[in-house]
Amino acid sequence: MHTSRPIEVEGRFLGVAVTHVSESQAQHWRFVATDPVVEDLDGAAFPSPAEARRVAGLVLARSRRPVGTAG
């Protein structure tokens, strides 16, 4: 059975974190992107849904910066 958590940042639904057990039997959370802004994170593994949300938030913030602006 899988457990999932919605990943939402500033009211914007970005994807879902789903539990996944690796070959080493370690459990982590796999990110499934539903918003094109975070599609580069699709399939990425995170230690927790909170970390997936944090990273997705960083990607979202980066996408909002004007071109040529250092961050």
For residue 7, what are the contacts with CB-CB under 8 A and spacing of at least 6? 13, 14, 15, 16, 17, 31, 49, 52, 53, 56
The domain in which residue 48 lies consists of 4-64
The per-residue pLDDT of the chain, averaged, comes to 90
Q: Give the pLDDT mean for 16-21.
A: 91
Side chain identity at 15, as an amino acid letter?
Answer: G
Above 70 in pLDDT, residue 70?
no
Q: Is residue 58 assigned to a domain? A: yes
pLDDT in tens, 25-40: 778 999 999 999 999 9
Is residue 56 within 8 A of residue 14, CB to CB? The reply is: yes
CA nearest to 33, candidates 50, 18, 15: 15
Q: Is residue 31 assigned to a domain? A: yes
Q: Is residue 69 assigned to a domain? A: no
Its sign, for the CA torsion 14, 8, 41, 33, is: negative
pLDDT in tens, 56-67: 999 999 998 776
Name the pTM for this structure. 0.83
Q: Is residue 70 assigned to a domain? A: no
Q: Is residue 26 assigned to a domain? A: yes
